[in-house]
Amino acid sequence: MCTQHKSWAFKWCSYEATLLVPRQDFCANYKGQEVWLNALDWERASEWQAASPEVWEVDGERAGTVQAAEPLTYVKLDGSGHLVRLALAKIQDL
């Protein structure tokens, strides 16, 4: 098991991460999440920073945006506050 500091985990460990961040969360807002994601020092940082967010749809309706550079996926959810799973039941199987 990897015991390195988590900001270095992508470099030294075999992790995959999907971050679900609600757009309307005022406690842990998405802007702060984006700051630390863009500041991560890992081997695919330039690939991550060059990746454009793509619109994510569920049942034909916009649900948010997705930005990815393996092994990191960042999902910014529209119409959701702090309790993501309660607000968007459609992502339960994500």
- Asked if residue 30 is part of any domain, the answer here is yes
Which domain does 69 fall in, by range? Answer: 26-91
Strand partners for 4:
none
Provide the number of structural domains found in the chain. 1
List, for residues 42-90, the tens digit of each pLDDT value.
888 999 999 999 998 888 888 889 999 988 899 888 877 776 666 556 5
Give the C-alpha separation, 2 to 12, whole Å: 8
Give the C-alpha separation, 25 to 32, whole Å: 11
- Asked if residue 1 is part of any domain, the answer here is no
Question: Is residue 90 a contact partner of residue 77, using CB atoms and an 8 Å limit?
Answer: no
- Asked if residue 69 is part of any domain, the answer here is yes
> What's the CA dihedral at 43, 25, 59, 74 to 10 degrees?
0
**In sequence order, what E strands does 1-94 have?**
17-22, 54-58, 61-69, 72-77
- Asked if residue 20 is part of any domain, the answer here is no
- Asked if residue 8 is part of any domain, the answer here is no
- Asked if residue 73 is part of any domain, the answer here is yes
List, for residues 3-18, the tens digit of each pLDDT value.
444 444 445 566 788 8
What is the pTM (predicted TM-score) of this model? 0.72
